[in-house]
A and B are shown apart, each in its own frame.
Chain A
C-alpha cells in the first residue's frame, strides 16, 4: 500500500518538476481517453457497428451525422480514426514493452556477466545500431503474414531494442561497481537477488525512459511501414488509414478529414517527444542543457 502511495508520489514529483513531462503526459492521456472512452461513446450513436464495411453509403462528405464522412467501404471515418488511434498506441506500447524486456535482459546479461557474454552481446547490439535494419524489417513484414497485434508488436520490437539495451548495459556496468552492490556480492547474495533487489530498483527510472523511447520508436516504425502499404490490414492504425485513403483521392475530396488524422499522428509524436526529453532531463540533470528550460 505505502509502496504504491510512494510511487504515485514520485510520479507526481516528476510531473511537478518538469513542465515538458506534464504537457506531454496530458496530451497522451487525452489521446488515450479519446481512443478508449471516446470510441465507445461515439459508437453508441449508431445502431450498428460503424466500423463494419457496408454499414453506410460509401464516400459521403462530412456531415453532422458523420463528422469526418464515410470511407469507400461505407464505414464511418471518425469511428475508424478512433479505433485506429487506439491501435496505433496499443501496437506502439506492445512493441515498446517487448523491446524494453529484450533490452533489459540483454543489457543486464552483458553488463552484469561481463567477459565473453558482454563482448558477444555488445558486438551484436553495436552492429544492429550501425547497419540500417529498417529494410530488413520491411522485408520481413512484407513476406511474413501476421494477423495479430501482439505478434506485430513483437516483430517491431525485434528491431527496436538495441538502443535501449546499450543504455541499460552502461548503467548496469556503472552500478555494479558501487559499494552497495559490491557489498551484496561479498555477502554471498544470490545473483538473482542482487539483480532483482539491488540493481533493478535503482535502474527503474532508466527502464521507464527506455520504454518511453521504445514506444515512440515502435509507433514511428509501424507508421512508416504502413505508408509502404505493409503490415496487417486486420489491425487498422492511423498510418494504415492514411495509406488507404490517399489513393482514394481523399486529399482532394475531404482535406479536413485527412488533416484531422495527421494532427492526431503529430500529437502522438509531440507528446512522446516531450515526455522523453523531460524524463531524460529529470533523471540526468546534466542534460538540462538540451533545451535550457
Chain B
C-alpha cells in the first residue's frame, strides 16, 4: 500500500517536473484556428481545459485534485489524443490485446524453458544438456527486439508466410468467426515467437541450475537408496522442489507484462497498451502517460501480492501466522 502510494506520488511530481505544458499548446492551437476572438472567451476556454486536465492552481492543489480524482473515481483525467475519452478507459480497452499476446508468450516460454531445463539438469553432462547449454549461453541475452527484426525479415519478407504488423487483418470485422480467430493467431505468431525465443533460454538456465542443486540434496540420495523408481524421484522429489523458485519468477514476469509490452507492440504495431503508451509519448499526452506508468506499477505490485497469497498453497512449508 505504501509502495503504491509512493509510486503514484513520485510519478505525479515526476510528470509535473517535466517542462512544457501540452494543454497550453493544445489550447493555443484551438485559439489560432480563429473561432474564438474575444479575449474574455479565450480565457474561459483555457480555464475550462486546465480545470479538466487537473492543471489548475499551484502544484499542491493539483496534487490533491489528482489524488482525489484517482482514489474516488479511479479516474486519471481525460486523454489528449482521444479527447474527451478518459485515459483509463483507453487503457482498459487495449488491455486484452496486451494480456493475450504477452501473457500467452510468457507462459509458453516458461513451460518450454522449465521443461527443457529440468531435462537438461536431470541429464547433466549429457550431450543433450551440453548442446542446450551452449544454445542458451548464446541466445539467453539477445533481446527480443533483435530477434523480432530477424524473424520479420525471414518469415515476413523472405518467405512471406506471416504478417508483420497489426493484430488482425483489417479487412475482417472483429468477431468470433473462425476466419477472424485464425487471422488473430497468425498475427500473434511473430511477436510471440520472438518473446518466447529470447526468454525461454533464461528459464532453461535457471531451472537447470535449480534441478542440479536439488539433485545434490541428501533427501534425493536417500530416495535413491530407498530404491524409488527414477521417474518417481524426478517428478515427486526433484521437479516439485525445483519448481517453487521458478513459479515465483513466473509470477514476477507476469507482473511486468504491461511495462514490457511497449517495445514489442510498437515494433509490430500491435494495438495493445504498450503501443498506446508509445503513441502517447510522442504526442505529449500527459494524463495517458501518467496513467500507463501508474498502471504498470500497480500490475507488478498486484502480481507480487497475489504471489504472496497463493504461495502457502504451492509450498506447504510456508505459512503466515497460524
Contacts and interface: CB of A to CB of B under 8 A. Distances in A.
A134 B262 contact: yes
B80 interface: no
Given A220-B143, A262-B146, A273-B141, A292 B124 contact: yes
Contacts of B143: 220, 223-224, 269
B311 to A, nearest CB: 17
A153 B167 CA distance: 35
B137 A291 contact: yes
A291 B262 contact: no
B209 A290 contact: yes
Contacts of B270: none
Interface in A110-149: 127, 130-132, 134-136, 138-140, 142-144
B137 A292 contact: no
Interface in A227-243: 227-230, 242
Contact of A131 (B146, B150, B153, B297): B297
A255 interface: yes
A276 B263 CA distance: 25
Nearest to A145: B19
B175 interface: no
B3 A131 contact: yes
A138 B137 contact: no
A69 to B, nearest CB: 15
Contacts of A270: 137-138, 141-142
A277 B137 contact: yes
B176 to A, nearest CB: 33
A266 B300 CA distance: 29
A75 interface: no
Interface residues of A, number: 44
A48 B257 CA distance: 48
Task: Determine the main DSSP class of A at the interface with B.
Answer: helix
A135 B259 contact: yes
Given A132-B260, A224-B145, 19 more contacts: A131-B301, A132-B300, A134-B262, A135-B296, A139-B18, A140-B18, A142-B281, A223-B143, A224-B263, A228-B281, A229-B282, A242-B149, A269-B142, A273-B141, A274-B137, A289-B213, A290-B209, A292-B212, A293-B130
14 contacts: A132-B256, A135-B289, A135-B293, A136-B293, A138-B277, A140-B18, A143-B284, A228-B266, A270-B138, A273-B138, A273-B141, A291-B133, A291-B137, A292-B125
Interface of B: 3, 6-7, 11, 14-15, 18-20, 124-125, 129-130, 133, 136-138, 140-143, 145-146, 149-150, 152-153, 156-158, 205, 208-209, 212-213, 256, 258-260, 262-263, 266-267, 277-278, 281-282, 284, 289, 292-293, 296-297, 300-301, 304
